[in-house]
Structure 1
Amino acid sequence: MTAPHWLRQPEILKLLNLLIDKLDKSQLQGKTSINSLKLDKRTFPALFNAAFEADKENYWSQLQQLQTWGWLNIKTDKVQAGKAGYELNPRLLIADEAALRQVTARPEPIKSAQQLWREAIFEFLTIDETLRESIANQKLEITGKTAVEIVERLNLLPTLVDEPLLLREVSARLFWGHSKVLDNRQALIAAILDVEECPFPEAPIQLQVFLPEGDFTGVLYIENLVCFEQATRDVSGRFAGLALVFASGFKGSAKRLRLKTGASVYFAGHGSLSIQSSQRFLSWLFDANETLPCWFWGDLDYSGMQILKSLRHSFKDIEAWQPGYQPMLEALLAGHGHTPEEAGKVNQKPINNTGSTYADRELLIAIKKHRKFVDQER
């Protein structure tokens, strides 16, 4: 096609360059399309400031010709009798990027690795759109692999959540045997899975276990280390007959707690170290050849309730420990709790249930009603 002379007019080229500017800026931000360009005195002064109506009609016909060629799409408000198209709030959309770049001599800029990553995230990552922006700022690179190939592998991440895998095992499983790709990328994983913390630990979970003298009749998981240490030295009898457990490195997936490859057990020196008691605990934990009542006690907040819910995947009968939670519940009901903002817990996600009768019928209801939390260490 022989280009008409008006296509080289400064006024037309300025408008087309404005469209390309808008497109380049949009692509730099990782977007694959642009919003329409509103035509007005600022964007196309040649038309809107023309002294004669004939000149306005001429410019408008040129835009219509660009639309006929398939280069642009023109959008206007509803047709009104007696009004020209340029009087109906006209907007332009790019229809043929290549044609506009050719006529303006504006080739597509070479995209940086960050731009390619953003584009791959927004186009190919199958997660909620509201989560993509944060992930787009956490670029992964693997020699010989494109951003699209990496993102497509990230789409498989949710299928691994229920497997007792360490972080490097997950990386190797996803990324062609490369085990270190996800090192220090826990925030990226948590964002993709839309959870508070990455569920894959860097190393086996460390279980600190205090065994009472004599037989233990139940097991109590304690969320916070300070409370665990206090409980192991308690002389009131409150924890009598309980094996006390603190899980260091627990990140929300309890399945590995019952695997010898997923958890390392260390017995407290100031508790019972009898071979019989320690073997009984290990047999209960890893071999599940004995049924023992099991409880969890942690912060009275959504994060604590989520841990309880996660523990029930491997300890199906575990319950919230009422002797520990009841005083905390009473404090909450008496107005002594703190808001999520006061405690720096605004990012905790509400949950509807844990599977524990006491937690669901009393603790969660109180948290939701009062919108406050109580720390275990209070």
Structure 2
Amino acid sequence: MNALPAWIDSDPVQELLNALVDRLDSAQTRGSAKAQAVSLSKALWPSFYSQPFESDREALWLQARELATLGLIALTPERAARATVGYDMSPKIGMPDPARLRAAVGRLERVKSVGELWREAVYTHLEGDESAKKVVSGYNIEIEGHSPVSIVQRINKLHSEAKTSGLLLREVSSRLFWGMSKVLDQRERLVAAVLGLDECPFPASPIQLQVNLSQGSTSGVLFVENAMSFEKAARRTSVEYRGLALVFASGFKASATRLRSEEGASLFYSRRGCMEPTEVARFEQWLFQGNQMPAVYFWGDLDWEGMRILATLRASFGNVEAWQPGYDPMRERLLAGGGHRPEAADKRGQRSIAATGCLYADAQLVPLLDTFGFVDQELFSL
């Protein structure tokens, strides 16, 4: 192959050739065998159109014609390739020899995207069947300083980690990924697919529940959304709390399915409440074994998030009711104009909910929120 002329390395010519190689790359990314010819335009060759004098533009067009003679590009129609000002004929530029074109700009291979490199590493190196590879390829895991291949090789070690009982998901992540504990967060489906299981065998970190058991026999459970409200309730001896086990439920964590398994929840009992072993055992039998409890309630902010927590608690615990002694005064404050709009309390992102499934909440609370706004739980104590 004859050496290319030195002027090919000039900035304007390299600009054009690189733009054409970009189109080759885009075509390959789409899975196309070749790139289509492209019209000469300012977007394709800015330097050509920015020339101040017509003679300069003619000189660049001459070089384009010579590129066609060298076989690096193709110019159509043919009369444009022969004319001094053929650029006025709306010519198109083709790429007849991609390999030579790439060599002219030193881009012998397309630079693959991060996603492509990840999928390639998964399908080449993951130990698993096609269904597992399909799932894992959908998770693009990037860790600075480590290649996709090395990350996939660490994922393969899930099989050996699964032989050790009692590991939590973040423990596994730390053991696999160079001490990084959060790599597998929200990637339980990946873990299950690699191991060929229906569910990830490694639980997330246990939910920590604070529990204040009633002095005397427990006749019900009250989930409390906010920490301050839980603390105030645990310090009071109001008749409304009598017989209730108070549980600090931090947002949606209280509605998680894993809350009902001993591996998924850690309980911390308040010294202010009852510590009798029989009452502790009764509470845990209800929580972990599904034993009956006469009544289960939820009390939190009177806003969309609070109502959503109530609905999801009902999905995990059955017939959970909004606690009327707590919500009634909040409702009265709303009706008296004492609520606040979502934007006033940084609650713009809350999504409305049509119904919780609780008759009291759906009839007395939910219909007020769009019209009267929200009320925070911390304003009220009994």
May I ask how many residue pairs the two structures share in their alignment?
325
- Corresponding position of 2:275: 273
Residue 169 of structure 2: SS of its match in structure 1? helix
Distance 1:327 1:21 in 2: 70
Match of 2:332 among 330, 333, 337: 330
Partner amino acid, structure 2, of 1:39: K
Are residues 299 and 55 of structure 1, via their aligned partners in 2, closer, same or farther at CA, if it must alter by over 3 Å?
A: same
Higher mean alpha-carbon deviation, 353-362 vs 259-268, is at 353-362
Are residues 168 and 253 of structure 1, via their aligned partners in 2, closer, same or farther at CA, if it must alter by over 3 Å?
A: farther
Matches within 5 A, 1:295-310: 295-310=297-312
Higher mean alpha-carbon deviation, 4-13 vs 224-233, is at 4-13
Distance 2:268 2:14 in 1: 73
Contact 1:201 1:250 in 2 (8 A): no
Deviations 1:102-145 (A, max 9, x none): 2123456989xxx7379759xx9999xxxx9xx98x94369675
2:231 corresponds to 1:233: no
- Corresponding position of 1:50: 54
Structure 2: state its 5+ residue gaps: 31-37, 77-85, 123-132, 157-165, 190-201
Partner amino acid, structure 1, of 2:13: L
Are residues 179 and 108 of structure 1, via their aligned partners in 2, closer, same or farther at CA, if it must alter by over 3 Å?
A: closer
Matches within 5 A, 1:12-161: 13-16=13-16, 19=19, 39=42, 42-45=46-49, 49-51=53-55, 100-106=101-107, 116=114, 120=118, 139-140=142-143, 145-146=148-149, 149=152
Contact 2:203 2:264 in 1 (8 A): no
Distance 1:235 1:13 in 2: 85
- Corresponding position of 1:77: none
User: Shift of residue 319 of structure 1?
Assistant: 2.2
Deviations 1:45-64 (A, max 9, x none): 3789535998798688789x
Are residues 226 and 12 of structure 1, via their aligned partners in 2, closer, same or farther at CA, if it must alter by over 3 Å?
A: closer
Match of 2:176 among 178, 184, 200: 178
Task: Report the TM-score when normalising by structure 2.
Answer: 0.60
User: Shift of residue 225 of structure 1?
Assistant: 1.6
Contact 1:116 1:147 in 2 (8 A): no
Distance 2:229 2:261 in 1: 25
Match of 1:316 among 312, 315, 318: 318
Partner amino acid, structure 2, of 1:178: L
Deviations 1:127-170 (A, max 9, x none): 9xxxx9xx98x9436967538849x99xxxxxxxxxxxx99327
Residue 292 of structure 2: SS of its match in structure 1? coil
Contact 2:170 2:205 in 1 (8 A): no
Deviations 1:206-245 (A, max 9, x none): 2222222332322110011211121123344222222211
Contact 1:167 1:183 in 2 (8 A): no
- Corresponding position of 2:376: 375
Distance 1:255 1:243 in 2: 20
Contact 2:151 2:177 in 1 (8 A): no
Deviations 1:286-331 (A, max 9, x none): 2222242211111223433333233223202112223222332333
- Corresponding position of 1:212: 214
Are residues 269 and 8 of structure 1, via their aligned partners in 2, closer, same or farther at CA, if it must alter by over 3 Å?
A: closer
Task: Report the TM-score when normalising by structure 1.
Answer: 0.61
Are residues 10 and 320 of structure 1, via their aligned partners in 2, closer, same or farther at CA, if it must alter by over 3 Å?
A: same
Residue 208 of structure 1: SS of its match in structure 2? strand
Partner amino acid, structure 1, of 2:347: K
Are residues 119 and 327 of structure 1, via their aligned partners in 2, closer, same or farther at CA, if it must alter by over 3 Å?
A: farther
User: Shift of residue 375 of structure 1?
Assistant: 1.7
Partner amino acid, structure 2, of 1:293: A
Are residues 179 and 308 of structure 1, via their aligned partners in 2, closer, same or farther at CA, if it must alter by over 3 Å?
A: farther
Contact 1:117 1:139 in 2 (8 A): no
Q: CA RMSD in A?
A: 5.5
**Bigger radius of gyration among the two:** 2
Are residues 358 and 176 of structure 1, via their aligned partners in 2, closer, same or farther at CA, if it must alter by over 3 Å?
A: same
User: Shift of residue 377 of structure 1?
Assistant: 0.4
Distance 1:272 1:313 in 2: 28
Are residues 312 and 247 of structure 1, via their aligned partners in 2, closer, same or farther at CA, if it must alter by over 3 Å?
A: same
Distance 1:43 1:320 in 2: 70
Partner amino acid, structure 2, of 1:140: I
- Corresponding position of 1:344: 346
Contact 1:205 1:257 in 2 (8 A): yes
- Corresponding position of 2:169: 169
Percent identical across equivalent pairs? 34
Are residues 22 and 343 of structure 1, via their aligned partners in 2, closer, same or farther at CA, if it must alter by over 3 Å?
A: farther
Distance 1:345 1:312 in 2: 23
- Corresponding position of 1:290: 292
